[in-house]
Structure 1
């Protein structure tokens, strides 16, 4: 059999594998397309098929040296005006624009030039570039990628250090308005030309954890979101990289998850077929609570949760209520086994405490006045409930990459039982209160690891040096392994 005898469909699938991540162990590593570019040189057929893969996803970003918008150093105007790329481009990633490009009084000399139809907000270089999506008739998905660092609500008396990579709330809001405006303009063209596709998938990477009701209640937002049936959210938060650590005291940490559950998601519930909820840090239990009660997605087929923490026996019920689910992905999701909350935070947060056992003051070596708690939940119970409660499930994935979630590679996520599946919470710990177990052993660290009450006159060594081994993964290994394997066996059998 000659290579020319291979059906084009099979050859296309094969060529589509000719890319690699620059760092395979880093889920956020960029893709290297060198082999795919070389494949275009083989023959006309390979050129056509490889081109479709090479230009399937475009990234609109600004070159730092000149501020011009490009894709892989190719001028953006050349990209959107290329007939070849117009035919094959299906996905676009739009990186939020630098502050110095927000206002540009002279847009007439930028790539593509401004048009009379451009709104005032779109008169800058960024707006002109984004409006170029109207020239890509086959787009199916769009991603807005904000900077990871953001600026939340601040008290002027607080010491907080920002750098040039920090994006303000107003900057992010303007980016959303500009991109949504371009999507709406393109949607108007769809009504006139049935050969233009509708953007159905929206990804917001590093969306800030601050409610923006003035935008989400606008006609612009509603006009765009009515077409969306796939929504993928990566939520970023304001954090203090240097100096006194006050991250947990950000008001957004206490308010955003209830807003997500009660206001942002419900209006979209009936139209979504795929949903991804991922945060940059563990979420769901404390300092805010998310149990999904009241959320019903009757048409949801795929749900991906990233960094979600289970801390109550009924906290996963909302997932099990989505009976239409065929794919469930758990990306660095955990069960919290031990928690320590300092007294002043305990009074302020007022999180639910049902299912928590409170240890006596001084347990685990912590000082008196702190609240030290334990949760008895196990993955064995969660896995069994998934197997029994989601009868249509055909794919189950669960991974725990150390320090990195797989938001950008969720569709290639596998399934493994990790030693990292349990963790602890200590509100006095920096830089993160979420303390993961050791990757290879599952050994945990929580105070001195000893639930016995530490005497008031205890030395620093007695209070803070581990006195016992603490390993929840080891304690639950038999039951968790049995339930995990039963779940995988059942899901595969349904396929």
Structure 2
């Protein structure tokens, strides 16, 4: 019978039940009641309403129920994908609940979710500013309030070592990064999962890639503010973004190394340089899981002076002797990369390359369910002269005279070989 199983196995099984099933399961007997209650109240969510804040506070003040709480989810909006332009205010009840988060004595995980749509307050050359519900000021207030709760003098959330932030704006206020609370909270983390959102421009989408905040985030803030302080302690890292990053905007992580990293998940990371692969492989001593979600190798780059990487002293070709547009072909292919993963990541037990639910907005939450697949989008090209996006895949081949790679068989064979080795390692662990 189920109740003859070891308690830990019972817990594992109960964790797979949906909420309605858990509520029914509680009625079976006293043991079931205890197990289901532990799971039901293991995660507590706070929505932006007085009613939600009241329920949150009631659990907090219940000594028994609050002891079950291991994860708290803060959502600043009811629908993160909504394009609401009415400016949001931070409810007093919501803020008070956030400030009390450290009172959950067994809390391990804090998950903060903002709205997807964002804008910056520094204006534009046209003097027009995009209107969004969650302004920079609002987001800053939320982050300050959360840090205040997690680094409270009386009840600091000292056991929280796992932080998730969804739709973190690329232009986060420097005041947050310089605060004592941010530094203190960061110092406790072992797991960091960031889903970064960037400003969109409906009138000129081709200009989105040149926004200064996007480049500050990936050129500097991501590595200097978030990653370097965590180098010695981080075991799990996720970096997703609503737009492509890696090649342009430039994100050079060669100065960052995590000696204890076990899991790495990257979303919308574009690969151009061999050193990007080498950076990933430098964690081979510890890395057990690699997820590459919509992470293409960019095989042809048509770039202007601002977009050309500094190490490219000479372009492969140019449109004309006086042209400021340079063109470079990238020879890297996935069948070059997969064998290196197989040999240089000796502890790899989970690997996925593919494309998650980006259209549905589920890619970040469901990243660990991503199945390895060879899609056309695994190779892209970049052309600074086209829009709305400078990136395009083989299904849009009419945009270029350059040929996309024709190496499906080689890629497939290399991927199968890698997955067979990964599966063998996984089986050996069971």
Calculate the TM-score normalised by the size of structure 1: 0.75
Q: How many residues align?
A: 412
Check whether the contact 2:88–2:138 (CA below 8 A) recurs between aligned residues: no
1:127 to 86, 91, 95: 95
Alignment correspondent of 1:426: 383
Structure 1 residue 53 and structure 2 residue 39: aligned? yes
Deviation of 1:92 (Å): 0.9
Unaligned runs of 5+ in 1: 20-32, 105-123, 191-195, 363-367, 438-442, 452-469
Alignment correspondent of 1:116: none
1:243-265: CA deviations, max 9, x gaps?
A: 66521221123332121234532
Give the match's secondary structure for 2:368.
Answer: helix
Alignment correspondent of 1:168: 135
Deviation of 1:176 (Å): 1.1
Deviation of 1:234 (Å): 0.8
Aligned CA distance change for structure 1 residues 434 and 156 (closer, same or farther; 3 Å): closer
Aligned CA distance change for structure 1 residues 303 and 171 (closer, same or farther; 3 Å): same
Deviation of 1:416 (Å): 3.0
Deviation of 1:402 (Å): 5.5
Matches within 5 A, 1:328-407: 328-341=290-303, 346-352=304-310, 354=312, 358=316, 361=319, 370-401=325-356, 403-404=358-359, 406-407=363-364
Calculate the TM-score normalised by the size of structure 2: 0.85
Aligned CA distance change for structure 1 residues 3 and 93 (closer, same or farther; 3 Å): closer
Deviation of 1:227 (Å): 0.9
Deviation of 1:295 (Å): 1.1
Structure 1 residue 237 and structure 2 residue 198: aligned? yes
Aligned CA distance change for structure 1 residues 427 and 312 (closer, same or farther; 3 Å): same
Alignment correspondent of 2:252: 291
Give the match's secondary structure for 2:233.
Answer: coil
Unaligned runs of 5+ in 2: 78-85
Structure 1 residue 101 and structure 2 residue 89: aligned? yes
Check whether the contact 2:244–2:269 (CA below 8 A) recurs between aligned residues: yes
1:185-231: CA deviations, max 9, x gaps?
A: 2x7536xxxxx861001111111112543322222211211111111
Structure 1 residue 189 and structure 2 residue 189: aligned? no
Alignment correspondent of 1:121: none
Inter-partner Cα distance in structure 2 for 1:48 and 1:408: 28
Deviation of 1:182 (Å): 0.2
Inter-partner Cα distance in structure 1 for 2:73 and 2:150: 13
Greater Rg by CA: 1
Alignment correspondent of 2:371: 414
Alignment correspondent of 2:82: none
Alignment correspondent of 2:395: 444
More helix by share: 2
* Bigger Cα displacement from structure 2, 211-220 vs 176-185: 211-220
Deviation of 1:422 (Å): 1.3
* Bigger Cα displacement from structure 2, 36-45 vs 267-276: 36-45
Give the match's secondary structure for 2:306.
Answer: helix
Check whether the contact 1:356–1:375 (CA below 8 A) recurs between aligned residues: no
Check whether the contact 2:354–2:378 (CA below 8 A) recurs between aligned residues: no
2:229 to 267, 271, 282: 267
Check whether the contact 1:358–1:372 (CA below 8 A) recurs between aligned residues: yes
2:145 to 167, 175, 178: 178
Give the match's secondary structure for 2:276.
Answer: coil
Give the match's secondary structure for 1:58.
Answer: strand
1:484 to 409, 415, 419: 415
Check whether the contact 1:356–1:374 (CA below 8 A) recurs between aligned residues: no
Structure 1 residue 228 and structure 2 residue 189: aligned? yes
Aligned CA distance change for structure 1 residues 221 and 402 (closer, same or farther; 3 Å): closer
Check whether the contact 1:384–1:487 (CA below 8 A) recurs between aligned residues: yes
